[in-house]
Amino acid sequence: MLEPTKLNQIWINDHIYIAILPESAYNLEVWENTTGKIHRMARMDYKYHRDTFAGFIYRLCPDINLMQIHSLQKQINPFFDLEV
């Protein structure tokens, strides 16, 4: 498994971040860092299933709103040469 680096991390809140792994089959992973322990919450193939991203993130972080999800997608899309 590839370790997420700070260059491809997009933070959702203080404890949860998205790791982008463009060359992997599951190229978007959601990680949680609590009390020094890091664990993967979920992963998806963003490049081909980005239309389900809003529901995917909302299930993991129900306190997030659509504007925040849109902002996340604007940060993620350049990793896959997708329109912003």
Give the torsion sign (CA, 21, 29, 47, 13). negative
List pLDDT tens digits, range 49-77. 999 999 999 999 999 999 999 999 999 99
Contact 76, 58 (CB under 8 A): no
pLDDT of residue 1 exceeding 70, the answer is: no
The pLDDT of residue 2? 44
pTM of the model as a whole: 0.86
Q: In whole angstroms, what is the distance from residue 69 CA to residue 6 CA? A: 20
pLDDT at 4 over 60: no
What pLDDT digit, counting tens, does each position of 5-50 carry?
Answer: 567 899 999 999 999 998 889 999 999 998 889 999 999 999 899 9
- State the pLDDT at residue 6: 61
pLDDT of residue 3 exceeding 70: no
